[in-house]
């Protein structure tokens, strides 16, 4: 089955509404067209997946790696967006002459993982793990599938770049200023979640390789 032949649900206003509910930071985007495209991108990605809404997606960095003990993917998307925005606002306050696009930061933070409904989809996972020699495992990582979503909804190039370059795919490129901020906010978010003991212990090996030692949570005793 080609990607274009996969079953897709209709993109309805009810589906778009779930995106607005799950990502309230969408309202911070000043540009009307960009705000609409962020909602459309998530609705498009969900409609091509088995997930009903963003909060149905597990709070994982990659399938099986970096799973939050509680919460959903919406907590990650919102957290990264707010961290990235706080970095931008710190510089815009101290150095008002700096040219940083807040709308691109917010949109990029909210859609940087828009390819995850595809990479995390249990139907896709079953197929890929069934015979990786046929399809690869995964066939495409979420930053790459995210580009398909962005092109399909007419996302501006500045935000599309952030989706592609937010993870190590971006190490092959010169990241934009806003792309660098979202990339670092994303990796910082996972590093802090890991260090604070918010991740499932299955991630401990990866944390150790990054020289991060998870602290116990307050309710886990000492």
Residues that bind Fe ion (CB under 5 A): 113, 186
Bin 173: left if φ > 0, else alpha if -120 < ψ < 50, else beta: beta
Kindly state the smallest distance separating residue 112's Cβ from Fe ion, in Å: 5
- Judged by CB, which is closer to Fe ion: 39, or 68? 68
Q: In angstroms, rounded to a whole number, what is the distance separating the alpha carbons of residues 214 and 71? A: 18
Task: With beta carbons less than 8 A apart as the criterion, state whether 175 and 169 touch.
Answer: no
- Judged by CB, which is closer to Fe ion: 44, or 66? 66
- Judged by CB, which is closer to Fe ion: 127, or 141? 141
Q: In angstroms, rounded to a whole number, what is the distance separating the alpha carbons of residues 147 and 28? A: 23
Kindly state the smallest distance separating residue 45's Cβ from Fe ion, in Å: 14
Angle at which helix 32-47 crosses helix 102-111, to 10 degrees, equals 10
- Judged by CB, which is closer to Fe ion: 103, or 113? 113
Kindly state the smallest distance separating residue 22's Cβ from Fe ion, in Å: 15
The two structure tokens encoding residue 98: 């700096």
Kindly state the smallest distance separating residue 142's Cβ from Fe ion, in Å: 9
């Amino acid at each position: 089955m080609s990607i274009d032949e996969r079953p897709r649900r209709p993109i309805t206003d009810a589906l778009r509404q779930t995106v607005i509910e799950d990502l309230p930071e969408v309202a911070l985007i000043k540009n009307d067209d960009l705000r609409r495209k962020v909602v459309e991108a998530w609705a498009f990605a969900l409609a091509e997946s088995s997930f009903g809404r963003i909060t149905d997606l597990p709070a994982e960095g990659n399938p099986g790696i970096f799973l939050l003990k509680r919460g959903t993917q919406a907590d990650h998307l919102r957290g990264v967006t707010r961290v990235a925005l706080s970095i931008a606002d710190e510089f815009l306050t101290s150095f008002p002459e700096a040219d940083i696009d807040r709308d691109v930061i917010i949109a990029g933070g909210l859609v940087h993982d828009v390819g995850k409904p595809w990479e995390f989809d249990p139907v896709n996972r079953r197929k890929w793990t069934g015979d990786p020699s046929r399809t690869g495992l995964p066939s495409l990582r979420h930053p790459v599938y995210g580009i398909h979503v962005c092109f399909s909804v007419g996302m501006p190039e500045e935000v599309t770049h952030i989706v592609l370059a937010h993870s190590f795919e971006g190490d092959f490129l010169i990241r934009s200023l806003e792309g660098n901020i979202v990339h670092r906010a994303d990796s910082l978010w996972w590093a802090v979640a890991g260090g604070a003991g918010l991740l499932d212990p299955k991630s401990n090996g990866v944390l150790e390789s990054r020289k991060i030692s998870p602290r116990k949570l307050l309710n886990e005793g000492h």
